[in-house]
Amino acid sequence: MRGKATATAPANIALVKYWGAHDLSSGIPLNASISMTLSRCVSTCTVEARTGDAAGGAAREESNEVYVVAPGEHWPAPGEGRAQGELRPAPDAFARRVLDHLERLRRWAGADCSFRVATHNSFPSGAGLASSASGFAALTLATVGALGAEVTAEELSILARRSGSGSAARSVLGGYVELPGGPVPDDVYARQLAEPGHWDLRDVIAIVAAEPKAVSSLEGHARAPSSPYFRERLACLADRLTVVREALARRDFDLLGPAVEEEAVDLHLIAMSSSPPIFYWRPGTLEVLEAVRRLRTEGVKAYFTIDAGPNVHVICPPDAEETVASRLGALGSVREIIRDRVGPGPELIEEHLL
Ligand code: DP6
């Protein structure tokens, strides 16, 4: 018997960031995080579950197949049509994480099957643009669908988080989303703070380097407590979370922006002062930060944030998007601009990659 399902899931940009884990293997963060779900940066994943021809244990795992759709000349945005490009075996490290998660989901469902999986991202992977969040949220939903199971949003969030990508737990919901921190039991899941329609914020993403980052977020979480400033960061976070929740509830951009920038700088301060240190920023990152500050002196409402990578997300209201995008796009170190905005959560679709 074969069951096949395809899911799309959005990336998200953290306004308050998960950095440092209570339980790294199941993605339980030490601190609560808040994110904005995106709509242009999306992962699509097809999972085929094959029962009947499955052998047990190691043989079953050997018959699993994991592919990525190779980047074509043009990656369609969601709704623009099917991804073009040939299927290639997934890189080893990524395939390992996918296989581990498939095995976890297979056991959860009590199924005896092997899997064929194909996945693609509409944006650069592993470059600090939350491709794990969207990728593992899409993989989780597609696998649950292929296994014929049904889950609530809470269960989907828990299952996605157990991939080890805590941010994937937030990508199962649209709009503005909060994931609580630990120490908590393994049932921690994301909650929606507001629907996408609550506040139309834009995210102008300045790509200064598209290659995968040298140090993974998982490694970053593991090193975070070695920073002498990590305790101070955690102590400040309760107030910052309150400010960000309030700013979102009141749609107060002047309250949100500075808190989001401080938060991003804090995360990178922890990374840079960890042992051994992690430098995600590139010279181009600083060029973009400088340009954002200059835009503000000219009255343009825009604030930056940066996940674990060199690329900069600039959060702004709709009327500032054009100016931000054209100004940043003209910078020497910016290779590409992706214009994104708050969007809905994942969905099952009928256009399969396999
Ligand atoms: C800086 O462990 O979720 O993006 O699995 O690689 O996406 P990936 O990372 P994860 O850590 C997220 C780190 C962060 C902040 C955040 O998204 O909260």
Tell me, what CATH number does 301's domain have?
3.30.70.890
Domain check: are 146 and 291 in the same one? no
In the chain, % of residues over pLDDT 70: 92
Per-residue pLDDT tens over the stretch 182-218: 877 778 999 999 999 999 999 999 999 988 788 999 9
Average pLDDT over residues 19-29: 93
**Side chain identity at residue 137, one-letter code:** A
Asked whether residue 281 is assigned to any structural domain, the reply reads yes
CA distance readout (Å), 353 to 10, 116, 117, 234 = 17, 11, 9, 42
- Average pLDDT along the chain: 92
Please tell me the distance from the alpha carbon of residue 17 to that of residue 114, in angstroms, as a whole number. Answer: 35
pLDDT bracket for residue 237 (50, 70, 90): very high
In-domain check, residue 282: yes
Single-letter amino acid, residue 316: C
Q: How far is CA 330 from CA 238, 246, 296, 306, in A?
A: 38, 34, 17, 20
How crowded is residue 33: how many other Cβ atoms within 10 Å of its Cβ?
A: 26
> Which of 196, 225, 245 is at the close of a domain?
196
CA atoms 192, 194, 196, 200: torsion sign? negative
Question: Which pLDDT does position 73 carry in this prediction?
Answer: 47
Given ligand 1 and candidates 15, 162, 167, which is best to mutate, with the most ligand atoms within 8 Å of its CB? 167
pLDDT score for 55: 56
For residues 123 and 224, membership in a common domain is answered with no
From residue 288, alpha-carbon distances to 162, 284, 285, 293, 302 in Å are 34, 6, 5, 9, 12
For residues 163 and 212, membership in a common domain is answered with no
Same domain, yes or no: 38 and 77? yes
Residue 235 within a domain: yes
Output the pLDDT for position 271. Answer: 98
Residue 264, CA distances (Å) to 12, 206, 339 in order = 15, 15, 20
Q: Given 145, 163, 196, which residue is the final one in a domain?
A: 196
Which whole number is the average pLDDT over 125-154?
Answer: 91
Residue 261, SS3?
Answer: helix
In percent, the amount of the chain with pLDDT more than 90 equals 82
Tell me whether residue 347 is in a domain: no
Over the stretch 40-98, which tens digit does the pLDDT of each residue have?
Answer: 999 999 999 998 765 566 666 778 999 998 765 445 555 555 556 789 999 998 999 99
Do residues 103 and 46 share a domain? yes
Ligand 1 centre distance from Cα of residue 27 (Å): 9
Q: Tell me what pLDDT residue 130 has.
A: 74
The verdict on residue 241 lying in a domain is: yes
- From CA 37, how far away is CA 39, in angstroms rounded? 7
Question: Are residue 334 and residue 252 in the same domain, yes or no?
Answer: yes
Q: Give the residue among 105, 1, 104, 98 at the shortest CA–CA distance from 50.
A: 1
Rounded-to-integer distance, Cα 351 and Cα 326, Å? 34
Mutate to test the pocket of ligand 1, among 28, 123, 176, 217 (most ligand atoms within 8 A of CB): 217
| Rounded CA separation 236/255 (Å) | 16
Q: Which domain holds residue 229?
A: 198-341
Q: What average pLDDT does range 273-296 have in this prediction?
A: 98
Residue 228 has pLDDT above 60, yes or no: yes
Token couple for 64 = 């699993």
Q: Tell me how far the alpha carbon of residue 166 lies from the centroid of ligand 1, in angstroms.
A: 6
- DSSP letters for 93-153: HHHHHHHHHHHHHHHHHT--EEEEEEEEESS-SSSSS-HHHHHHHHHHHHHHHHTT----H
SS3 state at 58: helix
Pocket of ligand 1 (CB under 6 A): 14, 17-19, 33, 130, 132-133, 165-167, 216-218, 221, 307-308
Residue type for 143, please? T
Q: What is the mean pLDDT of the segment spanning 213-233?
A: 95
Testing ligand 1's pocket by substitution, the residue of 18, 37, 97 carrying the most ligand atoms inside 8 A of its CB is: 18
The CATH number assigned to the domain holding 84 equals: 3.30.230.10
The residue from 196, 212, 236 where one domain ends is 196
**Domain contains 350:** no
Residue 13 lies in a domain: yes
Would you say residue 126 has pLDDT above 80? no
My answer on whether 207 and 305 are in the same domain is yes
Instruction: Judge if 101 and 202 occupy the same domain.
Output: no
Rounded to the nearest angstrom, the distance between the alpha carbon of 165 and the centre of ligand 1 is 6
Per DSSP, helices labelled H in 120-252 are 131-146, 153-161, 217-223, 230-250
**What's this model's pTM, rounded to 2 decimal places?**
0.94
Distance in Å, CA 167 to ligand 1 centroid: 5
Tell which residue, 308, 273, 343, 327, has the closest CA to residue 129: 308
- Over residues 254-279, the mean pLDDT reads 98
94 & 170 share domain: yes
Q: How wide is the angle at C-alpha 258 spanned by C-alphas 193 and 10, nearest 5°?
A: 40
**Longest CA span, the chain:** 65
137 and 211 belong to one structural domain = no
Q: Per the domain annotation, does 331 fall within a domain?
A: yes
Q: What angle do CA 160, 182, 259 make, to 5 degrees?
A: 90
Asked if residue 208 and residue 184 are part of one domain, the reply reads: no
**What is the domain count for the chain?**
2
User: Which pLDDT tens digit goes with each residue over 144-191?
Assistant: 999 999 999 999 999 999 999 999 999 999 999 999 998 777 789 999
Nearest to 116 by CA among 68, 169, 59: 68
Token digits of residue 275: 């042992």
Do 205 and 292 reside in the same domain of the chain?
A: yes
Only one residue has tokens 């709509």, namely: 39
The residue count for the chain: 354
Which residue's CA lies nearest to atom 5 of ligand 1? 165
What would the pLDDT profile of 318-328 be if each residue is shown by its tens digit? Answer: 999 999 999 99
